[in-house]
Homo-oligomer: A and B are copies of this chain.
Amino acid sequence: MNPINLTIFNEFVHERKNEAVQKVYPNGMHEAIAAHMRLQPGISVRCATLDMPEHGLNEDVLAATDVLIWWGHMAHDTVADAVVEKVHARVLDGMGLIVLHSGHMSKIFRKLMGTSCSLCWREAGERERLWIVNPSHPVSQGLGPFIELPHAEMYGEFFDIPDPDELLFISWFEGGDVFRSGATWHRGKGKVLYFRPGHETYPIFYNPDILQVLVNAVRWAPFSGSPNVTTITACPQITEPLEPLRPAT
């Protein structure tokens, strides 16, 4: 069986600007996630950051990527539109995409959703509990009935996203809010997961349950559908009908 080719994109800005972040993620959040992924059988890991040429996401990399994890926050606007277009096309063509936390405002996520992806937020280190509401889904494998995070940034409704194809997790927050924290959509031949947890100053990406979700998601997200259906061609004309037409009258 071929390994799953995973690329982890992190804008990697907070970690180099802010000491508090550096302490939690000395090599960047991508490396925290990558370290865990490298321990999993059948997953091959590559990292990409904003400062690389084409943000580390050139055509060859994208073509060879089965699943792309995306973390961004303060530098969304710096991501080149040309790269966003290529990532978008690759998702429609079957690449899985896992968008984490503040990635909800990334260009690629907003382009795939078609909405503002706006939400409410508060940074007060409050308790979060993610309840599983779709226990049949592979992304919840080995978990449940909930995941608890002692300290988290709050994201609250209304979260302006299209109705998910599958709603996986709903978060409860100490301060009185709720949030649709895990949701999937398919776009073309690609699968998309939004997963809420993952702030730069809380050690969320060391939490075993969160890592379990990410591993599950990486195993779920690769293309496994119909290769003979095209999704990104510009409206092919089919001159010859499959069935005979009535003679013109």
A174 at the interface (CB under 8 A from B): yes
A111 at the interface (CB under 8 A from B): yes
Residues of A176-196 whose CB lies within 8 A of B: 176-178, 180, 185-191
Query: Which B residues are in CB contact (< 8 Å) with A3?
Result: none
A52 at the interface (CB under 8 A from B): no
Interface residues on A, range: 35 or more
| Residue-wise interface mask of A (119-144) relative to B, using a CB-CB cutoff of 8 A (1 in contact, 0 not) | 11111111101011111111011111
A226 at the interface (CB under 8 A from B): yes
Query: Which B residues are in CB contact (< 8 Å) with A138?
Result: 224-225
Residues of A147-168 whose CB lies within 8 A of B: 154, 156-160, 162-163, 165-167
Q: How distant is A243 from chain B, measured CB to nearest CB, in Å?
A: 4
Contact assessment for B112 and A225 in the assembled complex, using a CB-CB cutoff below 8 Å: no
Number of copies: 4
A40 at the interface (CB under 8 A from B): no
A145 at the interface (CB under 8 A from B): yes
Contact assessment for A226 and B122 in the assembled complex, using a CB-CB cutoff below 8 Å: no
A114 touches which of B114, B140, B142 (Cβ 8 Å): B114
Instruction: Given A115-B188, A135-B158, A158-B133, check contact A142 B174 (CB 8 Å).
Output: no
Rounded to whole angstroms, the CA-CA distance of A203 and B167 in the bound complex is 32
6 A-B residue contacts at CB 8 Å? A115-B231, A118-B231, A127-B246, A156-B238, A162-B186, A165-B166
Question: Known pairs A92-B160, A135-B231. 15 more at Cβ < 8 A?
Answer: A105-B235, A112-B114, A116-B231, A118-B231, A118-B232, A118-B234, A121-B236, A140-B225, A140-B226, A162-B185, A162-B186, A170-B180, A172-B177, A176-B242, A176-B243
